[in-house]
């Protein structure tokens, strides 16, 4: 039995057809990866012919995932009941303050937790395979090959004693059967793709001889060496200055287009999100509290947490104003409320009756989901009208 039934197009030479002439045929594939590749081929052809189509498949489907860490002999949830989909060809940003669970979600997808110290439940369907059911050896076939990861600190992610070429080749040694000459060519091609000006010279250098921006480009080259379908970038620009940040974000966008990859971009920086993301999931205290397209999140934010984050962002046109400060802190795992709205203590002026006892997600417009009913009449005490100036 196949996983998926999608509408495909019988004749791939679509340029000669208009939408109404297309002959649709149901394709049943047993392999989700083939379905996705097929879909992308079709979509390119359709769009070249001026036709827009909806994305037919999610290739990463995170369902009801919770991850708990053992602290003093007891398990406490760092992320709770996460539901999230990632599509090919998109950058999904995950935002939230420090301690909200963004990295835990990333490392859960990557299978980087010690089972003795961590309890994970739910499912993470990646191209038809539940990652959470894989053994360590099976996971190793995915990491680096189908799933690439870009970490925050490029210096600690690189081996100081190895030349750049060897570090990029290493991942290919593990996942491919390239000859030495093929590997060398591919290293130069990758360094060029991530915007290194002199790939030959850089390939021969050691990490300490490169600038921070160049090192991060090398990390990206390693992450994409095997053309992964999914790239997880955890705070990839935090350690870099603003100009270099912009260049690295450009590289990520290029790669997403060229490789048809799906990228999960983890950041606490809403500026980075605004510049880069197609969709955004906002996390607070281990839960997703709002998700939608970047336009929905920036133009019509709904959850009080999202609105507070946006209000605390420096605005170019009112740089002299004091920034909004969100009261209180993200609760620690041991102090995480088990019922009620986890953000409620940080908006104490909102009456308890505005919150749900067990907040659920509400779809406010198609694809735009908000947790808890408290968003409906939410106002800042000093800004009685929702949607006013600084938001």
Ligand X SMILES: Nc1ncnc2c1ncn2[C@@H]1O[C@H](COP(=O)(O)OP(=O)(O)OP(=O)(O)O)[C@@H](O)[C@H]1O
Residues that bind ligand X (CB under 6 A): 69, 71, 78, 96, 98-104, 268, 332-333
Considering the complex, state which of residue 9 and residue 219 has its C-beta at the smaller distance from ligand X.
219
According to DSSP, the β-strands at 129-130 and 147-150 are unpaired
Considering the complex, state which of residue 320 and residue 334 has its C-beta at the smaller distance from ligand X.
334
Considering the complex, state which of residue 313 and residue 364 has its C-beta at the smaller distance from ligand X.
313
Of residues 155, 185, 151, the one with CA closest to residue 168:
185
Q: Are 63 and 83 in contact (CB under 8 A)?
A: yes
What's the closest the beta carbon of residue 348 comes to ligand X, in angstroms? 22
Considering the complex, state which of residue 102 and residue 311 has its C-beta at the smaller distance from ligand X.
102
What's the closest the beta carbon of residue 142 comes to ligand X, in angstroms? 21
What's the closest the beta carbon of residue 282 comes to ligand X, in angstroms? 11
CB atoms within 10 A of CB 335: 10
What's the closest the beta carbon of residue 75 comes to ligand X, in angstroms? 10
**Range 69-103 burial, b when 16+ CB lie within 10 A, else e:** beeeeeebbbbbebebbbbbbbbbbbbbbebbbbb
CB atoms within 10 A of CB 193: 18
What's the closest the beta carbon of residue 333 comes to ligand X, in angstroms? 5
What's the closest the beta carbon of residue 110 comes to ligand X, in angstroms? 13
**Residue reference for tokens 């983890």:** 266
What's the closest the beta carbon of residue 148 comes to ligand X, in angstroms? 19
CA gap 29, 118 in Å, rounded: 35
CA gap 262, 377 in Å, rounded: 35
Considering the complex, state which of residue 8 and residue 286 has its C-beta at the smaller distance from ligand X.
286
Considering the complex, state which of residue 35 and residue 132 has its C-beta at the smaller distance from ligand X.
132
Q: Are 216 and 240 in contact (CB under 8 A)?
A: yes
Considering the complex, state which of residue 68 and residue 168 has its C-beta at the smaller distance from ligand X.
68
Considering the complex, state which of residue 193 and residue 276 has its C-beta at the smaller distance from ligand X.
276
Alpha helix locations (H) across the chain?
32-48, 102-110, 136-142, 154-157, 164-175, 180-193, 199-203, 212-224, 242-259, 270-276, 294-299, 304-311
Considering the complex, state which of residue 34 and residue 268 has its C-beta at the smaller distance from ligand X.
268
CA gap 7, 367 in Å, rounded: 21
What's the closest the beta carbon of residue 272 comes to ligand X, in angstroms? 13
Q: Are 257 and 43 in contact (CB under 8 A)?
A: no
What's the closest the beta carbon of residue 98 comes to ligand X, in angstroms? 3
Tell me the DSSP string of 237-279: TTTS-HHHHHHHHHHHHHHHHHHT-EEEEEES-HHHHHHH-SE
């Amino acid at each position: 039995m196949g996983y998926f039934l999608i509408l495909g197009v019988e004749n791939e030479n679509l340029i000669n057809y208009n939408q109404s002439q297309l002959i649709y045929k149901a394709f049943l594939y047993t392999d989700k990866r083939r379905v996705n590749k097929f879909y992308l081929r079709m979509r390119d052809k359709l769009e070249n012919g001026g036709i827009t189509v909806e994305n037919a498949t999610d290739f990463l489907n995170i369902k009801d995932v919770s991850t708990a860490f053992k602290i003093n002999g007891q398990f406490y949830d760092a992320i709770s009941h996460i539901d999230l989909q990632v599509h090919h060809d998109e950058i999904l940003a995950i935002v939230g303050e420090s301690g909200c669970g963004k990295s835990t979600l990333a490392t859960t997808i990557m299978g980087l937790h010690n089972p003795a110290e961590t309890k994970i439940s739910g499912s993470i369907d990646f191209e038809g395979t539940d990652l959470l059911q894989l053994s360590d050896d099976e996971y190793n076939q995915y990491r680096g090959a189908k799933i690439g990861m870009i970490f925050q600190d490029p210096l600690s992610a690189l081996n100081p004693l190895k030349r750049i070429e060897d570090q990029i080749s290493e991942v290919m040694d593990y996942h491919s059967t390239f000859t030495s000459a093929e590997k060398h060519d591919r290293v130069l091609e990758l360094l060029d793709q991530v915007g290194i000006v002199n790939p030959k010279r850089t390939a021969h250098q050691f990490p300490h001889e490169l600038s921070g921006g160049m090192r991060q480009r090398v990390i990206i080259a390693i992450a994409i060496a095997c053309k992964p379908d999914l790239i997880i970038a955890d705070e990839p620009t935090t350690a870099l200055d603003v100009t270099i940040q912009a260049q690295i974000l450009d590289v990520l966008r290029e790669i997403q287009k060229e490789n048809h990859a799906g990228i999960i971009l983890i950041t606490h920086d809403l500026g980075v999100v605004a510049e880069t993301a197609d969709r955004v999931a906002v996390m607070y205290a281990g839960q997703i509290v709002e998700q939608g397209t970047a336009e929905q999140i920036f133009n019509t934010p709904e959850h009080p947490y999202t609105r507070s984050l946006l209000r605390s962002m420096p605005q170019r046109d009112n740089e002299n104003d004091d920034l909004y400060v969100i009261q209180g802190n993200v609760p620690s795992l041991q102090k995480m409320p088990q019922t009620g709205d986890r953000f409620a203590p940080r908006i104490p002026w909102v009456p308890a009756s505005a919150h749900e006892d067990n907040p659920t997600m509400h779809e406010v417009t198609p694809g735009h989901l908000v947790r808890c009913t408290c968003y409906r009449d939410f106002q800042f005490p000093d800004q009685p009208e929702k949607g006013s100036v600084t938001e």
